[in-house]
């Protein structure tokens, strides 16, 4: 519905067809800098290589090779190696137990039929909780009891499964080493740097729009003044959010207590976009005193410049100190413009605080990691 003052650019997806939304998502992730793209390429290469190896070597039950790649491949080489070690040990133990059980039960199909359901309940309940070792070991017992009901089997079935799992594990490990072995750790830094650079024009355009100045005088007057710089910043924010979501699931190689606060950087990006959507008035710009206009322009330039400096992730961090808005200037502003001026002041000071926190400036000897200290 047409609601006066509502920033429709923020809710552009509300009436967009599903086909366009999928196209936007696919197009946005068609870049090597997207962790979604990286994971898709890594998985596709692993499955293709697994299919080639299984077909070339004519492995018995070769689909287990593909299943191993799917279930054991992780987003980092370290994570894949940890999963492969556990899975290999679990498969070996499961194969020994299953082989002994097959030798003892022989061709007693009724025994396998009676144990299949309880075995599946245990395997699919304990396996996901216990980790790769329990999952692979118990699944080995499940497939043994299932296959034994279809045709007579021997302990060689366990040998085939062990070979297939080890082959799939090796393929997954190779893909993990060759394709983005560090996972999202390196991409996190790149995506945040790109986000900070993309938000600098948004801050400047928003400050200019509040004082009645447009970045592009020839643009459509009905279009929001910050529309031109919003889309790149929104895209970079989505890339950084995806990288952060994956980063938090990966094992840490070292302590991040002295590193940048990535979550604060994401909060900064979200705050920039919210201000760009809501601060510039949609129905005309109220008159501001010249002193207030100069303060807005200077503060906006300072925050934008600080964002560009923070994009290099300097080790000392970036400290932003904005001059407070003079009470005299605030009182000399008309009531209609004063609320907008105060909102802009709060927004700019919040952005400065976010940048300081994100880069870890001014906090020697305190926690500067990726998890906030509060709840």
Is 368 part of any domain? no
Residue 137 belongs to domain spanning: 35-178
- Which DSSP category does 1 fall into? -
pLDDT of 11 reads 86
Q: What is the mean pLDDT of each run of 10 residues along the chain (375 residues)?
A: 70 90 94 94 94 89 90 92 94 92 85 91 93 93 88 80 91 92 91 96 91 63 67 94 94 69 95 91 75 91 95 88 85 83 92 93 52 33
Is 16 part of any domain? no
> Does 286 lie in the same domain as 273?
yes
Is 328 part of any domain? yes
> Does 313 lie in the same domain as 210?
yes
**CB contact at 8 A, 171 and 62:** no
> Does 345 lie in the same domain as 244?
yes
Distance CA 211, CA 290 (A): 10
Is 39 part of any domain? yes
Q: What is the DSSP string of 183-205?
A: THHHHHHHHHHHHHHHHHHHHHH
Nearest CA to 5 out of 370, 323, 374, 340 is that of: 340
pLDDT of 105 reads 84
> Does 137 lie in the same domain as 46?
yes
pLDDT of 370 reads 41
> Does 314 lie in the same domain as 192?
yes
**CB contact at 8 A, 120 and 142:** yes
CB burial of 70-91 (b: ≥16 within 10 Å; e: otherwise) equals ebbbbbbbbbbbbbbebbbebb
pLDDT of 5 reads 66
Per the listing, tokens 């207590």 go with: 257
pLDDT of 50 reads 94
**CB contact at 8 A, 251 and 78:** yes
Q: How many domains does the chain have?
A: 2
Distance CA 307, CA 196 (A): 5
- Which DSSP category does 62 fall into? T
> Does 229 lie in the same domain as 133?
no
Model confidence, pTM: 0.83
- Point out the domain boundary residue: 178, 196, 212: 178
Is 366 part of any domain? no
pLDDT of 362 reads 64
Is 267 part of any domain? yes
Q: How far is CA 119 from the centre of its chain?
A: 36
pLDDT of 211 reads 83
């Amino acid at each position: 519905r047409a609601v006066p003052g509502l920033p429709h650019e923020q809710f552009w997806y509300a009436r967009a067809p599903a086909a366009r939304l999928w196209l936007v998502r696919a197009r946005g992730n068609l870049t090597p800098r997207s962790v979604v793209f990286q994971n898709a390429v890594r998985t596709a290469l692993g499955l293709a290589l697994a299919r080639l190896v299984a077909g070339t070597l004519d492995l018995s039950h070769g689909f287990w090779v593909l299943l191993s790649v799917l279930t054991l491949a992780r987003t980092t080489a370290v994570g894949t190696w940890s999963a492969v070690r556990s899975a290999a040990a679990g498969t070996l133990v499961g194969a020994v137990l299953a082989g002994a059980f097959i030798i003892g039960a022989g061709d007693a199909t009724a025994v396998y039929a009676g144990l299949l359901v309880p075995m599946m309940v245990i395997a699919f309940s304990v396996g996901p909780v216990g980790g790769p070792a329990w999952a692979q070991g118990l699944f080995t017992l499940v497939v043994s009891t299932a296959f034994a009901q279809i045709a007579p089997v021997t302990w060689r079935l366990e040998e085939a499964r062990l070979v297939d799992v080890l082959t799939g594990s090796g393929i997954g490990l190779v893909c993990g080493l060759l394709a983005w072995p560090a996972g999202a750790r390196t991409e996190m830094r790149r995506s945040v740097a790109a986000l900070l650079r993309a938000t600098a024009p948004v801050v400047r355009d928003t400050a200019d729009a509040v004082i009645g100045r447009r970045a592009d005088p020839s643009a459509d007057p009905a279009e929001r003044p910050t529309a031109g710089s919003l889309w790149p910043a929104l895209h970079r924010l989505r890339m950084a959010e995806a990288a952060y979501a994956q980063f938090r699931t990966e094992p840490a190689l070292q302590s991040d207590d002295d590193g940048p606060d990535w979550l604060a950087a994401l909060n900064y990006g979200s705050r920039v976009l919210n201000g760009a959507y809501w601060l510039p008035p949609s129905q005309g710009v109220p008159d501001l005193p010249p002193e207030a206009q100069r303060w807005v322009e200077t503060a906006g330039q300072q925050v934008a410049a600080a964002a560009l400096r923070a994009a290099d992730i300097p080790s000392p961090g970036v400290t932003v100190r904005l001059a407070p808005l003079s009470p005299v200037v605030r009182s000399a502003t008309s009531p209609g413009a004063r609320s907008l001026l105060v909102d802009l002041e709060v927004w700019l000071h919040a952005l400065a605080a976010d940048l300081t926190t994100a880069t870890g400036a001014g906090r020697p000897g305190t926690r500067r990691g990726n998890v906030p200290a509060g709840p």
